[in-house]
Amino acid sequence: MMRVAILGEQNFSLIDGSTIWLLNVCKLISLQHDIEPVLVLSHPLTNDLLAKELPERVKIVRFEEISHLLAPGADRLDAASASLALGVAERLHGPLDRVFVRGARFLESLVHEPDWRQRVVAYTPETLPDLTRPEPAWLLAAREARIPLVVQSEIAKQAMEALSNYPAQVVHVVPPIVFDDAEREPRANSPVRLCYSGKIDPNYGIDWLLEFCETLPDQSDLAATIIAGKDSFRARHPEFFKKFDVFRSDVLSGFVQNVEYHSNLSHAEAKAQMSKAHFAFCLRHAKYDDVIEISTKIVEFSSLGVPPILNDTALNRSLFGEDYPYYVDILSENVVERLHEIMASVGTESYELAQARTTEIASQFSASKLSDKLGTAIRGFSDAAFVDEGSKRRILIATHERKFLNQFLDQVRGDPNIDIVWQHWKTTTQYGPQAPNVPPDVDTVFCEWACENAVWHSHNKRQGTKLIVRLHRFEAFRDFPARINWEAVDALIVVSEYFRDMMVEDHGVDPDRIHILPQYIDWDQLQRSKHPDANFTLGLVGINPFDHKRFDRAIDFFAKLRQKDPRFQLAVRSVMPWQIGWVWDADNDDKVKFENVFNRIFADPVLQGSVRFDPAGPDMEEWYRGIGTILSSSDTEGCHTSVMEALASGSDAVVYNWPGARSLFDEHVEDDMADAVDRVIAFADDPAQPEKRRAFSQSMKQYDVVKFTRDFFQL
């Protein structure tokens, strides 16, 4: 059982979109039977309308139980006290495995606390950066620590990855949640009712709603319901509120026909009223047109079968489709007239289409589906654990460089039966001033990279432990394999048949102990649609060092391709060689070779303007969407992960026949890359391209990180 605290900056006594979100998160988490939710209230509870709807499983830590730790008179939890509050939660309910946090201040505090950082799962509705403002402090720390992040939509996820460099593997999409548990009131055929539910804020289109309501006394077949939350920004909009106050008073006094006004309803009561409407008023002023977050209200209305009337924005179109009939262009249309037009469409095909669409959309946001998504985000994995229930594994990872382990670690992080202990080696050849140490409760030592770490552990293996070594590539060409005591190594992971054969032939390693497990990929993360310009865009990842990656060979191929078909472009994503000291200052002629290639790119008329250099970055999943064909021009490689990833994303590949290439990429391998020119051109215009892209992708599924992780724990 995993115990999870839920901590948000919202005041749970108020009813608005964000507190309803908090309520729904609690409900969602409580559906996960292996998770015990603990809601930590950041404000005193003065109104229990929402609290009454919490499932029994949800334990509550009240503000009063924390307040003695705060400054006298404090009326809310401040950022500095977040960890204290969680300490109280632990004291009352037991150790916390995770903390699900919403709120920049709380996040900023907790991600900087060593005790809490690794337990935080962050939620943010704000996903677009502003170049003129610094990044939030919490985001910097969270990104570095690979803290799991929950966002509302795929668009928000893509934005976090591409614009804020957040690692794709730890960004989880959990859209707004809707619980289909409301009692639906029967919907009368007449009058046709428009419903608004939310705060009274002129930016939320209430001025248009007011104007619409003013037309209603003349129309007996139309009605409106306003389920009002709090008044917002009264001081900023005195004229509006002057008018609205009069209107509200008139409605409540019965002077306005066909308009109902409700306030202080429980959430369930509000939803019951909403369900009586034929249309939902979800318009907002242009100020909100660039919001990319999905409105919870829109989803709620959809779940109740009430088609929303929406701003005509890219986001709404991406959700409801181009053919949804109830968009309003608030800049060019008369909103009130358009509302009347829409409300007259009940019973038509448009209305039926809209109803069907909303039902479809609501099913995407069903609680059961989203509960699993949220559970995965919090837990760190979704499927059964990698280790059998009841057995514990304690793995010591000895390495000088852990960058190729990130996705593996993302997988095991959530498994309570797996403990990872680190042994950091300073370099490939040195541990530090003292000898390494293997704690007595470690059952497995995993040497990531077959360097001096593997040499030492193979000669100092403690009885009863398992020793696993992973050899990438360069180690095979150094003296490390010759000095490793292979008898002591229980399992050697290599990335291709080529390296397996090398280890057997050159070092006498028992072939039964060798496992070919290429560097894994996160296959699911790579399933994204291609951009239109991908068709004629080739990709090349990493050009350093020259003699290894053979940038010149890739450019030769590309030049030949361009000579035949100038539609093609090449996108190179790499650190530049002069940015790496050991590459640029190497004691060889690589620098001259690089200069020659770059001069050619800039001067050759065939190539001019066709090679784009994209700065190195972590958002490779988004980058591959713009790549139709990936190139691998190297003289040697381990398994060339970028080719695997690109194929998994649906790209084609042209791979030079480096040792081991055929065992991984057979149909894409060429002895001479120029032989692939015609194939690449044909593929760009191939009507069967979609199916072929799917087949490329499927061919890489076997290298998915989940499979690797399962295989690893079976070694």
Tell me if 611 contacts other proteins by CB under 8 A.
Answer: yes
Size of the site for other proteins (CB under 8 A): 61
**Residue 413-452 contact track with other proteins, rule CB under 8 A, x = bound:** --------------------xxx-x---------------
How many whole angstroms separate alpha carbon 188 and alpha carbon 287?
35
Site string for other proteins, 106-145 (x = CB under 8 A): ------xxxx------------xxxxxxxx-x--xx--x-
Based on C-alpha coordinates, what's the Rg of the chain?
30
Six token digits for residue 712: 């690893």
Contact between 67 and other proteins by CB under 8 A: the answer reads no
Nearer to other proteins, 263 or 535 (CB): 535
Which residue from 185, 312, 352, 565 is in contact with other proteins, where contact means CB under 8 A?
A: 312
CA distance 349 to 337: 20
CA dihedral 476, 482, 484, 486 (to 10 degrees): 90
Asked whether 97 and 3 are in contact (CB, 8 A), the reply is yes
- Label the pairing between strands 629-632 and 98-102: unpaired
> Least distance to other proteins from the beta carbon of 317, Å?
9
Q: Report the distance separating Cα 336 and Cα 637, nearest Å.
A: 65
**Residue 691 binding other proteins, by CB under 8 A:** no
Task: Answer yes or no whether residue 464 interacts with other proteins by CB under 8 A.
Answer: no
Rounded Cα–Cα distance for residues 229 and 656 (Å): 64
If one asks whether residue 592 binds other proteins (CB under 8 A), the answer comes out as: no
Q: How many residues does the chain have?
A: 715
Rounded distance between C-alpha atoms, residue 226 and residue 216, angstroms: 13
Nearer to other proteins, 132 or 253 (CB): 132
163 interacts with other proteins by CB under 8 A = yes
* Shorter beta-carbon distance to other proteins: residue 133 or 403: 133
Least distance in Å: CB of 169 to other proteins? 17
By CB under 8 A, is residue 525 in contact with other proteins? no
Sheet holding 327-328: strands in order across?
259-263, 222-231, 192-200, 279-281, 308-311, 327-328
How far apart CA 285 and CA 277 sit, in angstroms, is 22
**Which residues from 214-243 bind other proteins, rule CB under 8 A?**
none
DSSP string computed for 409-477: HHHHTT-TTEEEEEEE-SSSS---SS-----TT--EEEEESSSHHHHHHHHSPPTT-EEEEE--SGGGG
- Asked if 49 interacts with other proteins (CB under 8 A), we say no
Instruction: Give the dihedral of Cα atoms 51, 53, 57, 59; nearest 10 deg.
Output: 0
At closest approach, how far in Å is the CB of 373 from other proteins?
21
Identified binder of other proteins from the candidate list 311, 358, 519, 663, rule CB under 8 A: 311
Closest contact distance (angstroms) between CB of 131 and other proteins is 5
Kindly state the smallest distance separating residue 157's Cβ from other proteins, in Å. Answer: 9
**78 is a contact residue toward other proteins (CB under 8 A):** no
User: Residue 296, SS3?
Assistant: helix
Q: Does the protein bind other proteins through residue 322 (CB under 8 A)?
A: no
- Under the criterion CB under 8 A, does residue 598 sit at the interface with other proteins? no
Choose which of 159, 335, 418, 502 interacts with other proteins (CB under 8 A): 159
The values of phi and psi at residue 36, to 5°, are -105, 110
Contact with other proteins (CB under 8 A): which of 288, 486, 584, 683? 288
What is the nearest approach in angstroms of other proteins to the Cβ of residue 167? 15
**In the set 77, 88, 149, 292, which binds other proteins (CB under 8 A)?**
292
Q: Which stretch binds other proteins (CB under 8 A): 223-231, 456-464, 613-621, 633-641?
A: 613-621
Structure tokens at 51: 């609290």
- Tokens found for residue 670: 């060429």
Chain residues in the site for other proteins (CB under 8 A): 83-84, 87, 112-115, 128-135, 137, 140-141, 144, 155, 158-159, 161-163, 286-292, 311-315, 318, 329, 331, 433-435, 437, 531-533, 569, 609-615, 617, 619, 622-623, 625-626
